[in-house]
Amino acid sequence: MKPDALRGHLDALLLATLDGRQLHGYAIIEELQQGSGGALDLPTGTVYPALRRLERAGHVTSDWSTVGGRKRRTYKLTQAGQRALLAERSAWREFTTVIDGVLGGGGKWAQT
């Protein structure tokens, strides 16, 4: 998948990746890649500024902690982040329902 197509959804993807767990930067990148079956092809360096942006918005908090014997900055969702994730999921469902109604086949648009 093209990086430009992903950028607009990066915040939501990061929030979803952090749902219910605390991860460091590279673990988040691995989860994103594994979760997409390797289809997410974003420069990994863009994830860190995006995490800072989410932190600034109060959706994520970070802490330096020792993971696997190394000191890492780990991230987790805040309550505001949980609410933002719910809103992102709801908006995404609404969006895909609308688009699928037109592009998904079966409707009058699919016949033309």
Partner 1 sequence: MGTDVIDRYMTDLGSRLQGSKKQVRDLLTETRDSLHDATEAHLDRGLTEQEAKRRAVEEFGPVKEIANEYQAELAVAYGTRTLIWLAIVLPLMHMAWEYGRMLLVGPWQDFGTMPPAWYLFIAKANDLTSGVASGVALVALVLGRILARKYDTKLLAKLAASIAILAVGVVLLGNAAIIAATAHVDASRLMQSLPMSIASLITWTVIVRLGLLARRCLSCATIVA
Question: Which residues bind to partner 1, rule: CB under 8 A?
Answer: 11, 24-26, 29-30, 43-46, 48-49, 52-54, 56-59, 70, 72-73
d(CA 44, CA 47): 6
- 23 and 15 Cβ atoms separated by less than 8 Å: no
Q: Shortest approach of partner 1 to residue 30 CB, angstroms? A: 8
Q: Shortest approach of partner 1 to residue 57 CB, angstroms? A: 4
Residue 16's nearest CA partner among 1, 32, 40 is: 32
- CB atoms inside a 10 Å sphere around CB 60: 23
48 or 109: CB nearest partner 1: 48
49 or 101: CB nearest partner 1: 49
56 or 108: CB nearest partner 1: 56
95 or 109: CB nearest partner 1: 95
Q: Shortest approach of partner 1 to residue 55 CB, angstroms? A: 9
Q: Shortest approach of partner 1 to residue 93 CB, angstroms? A: 19
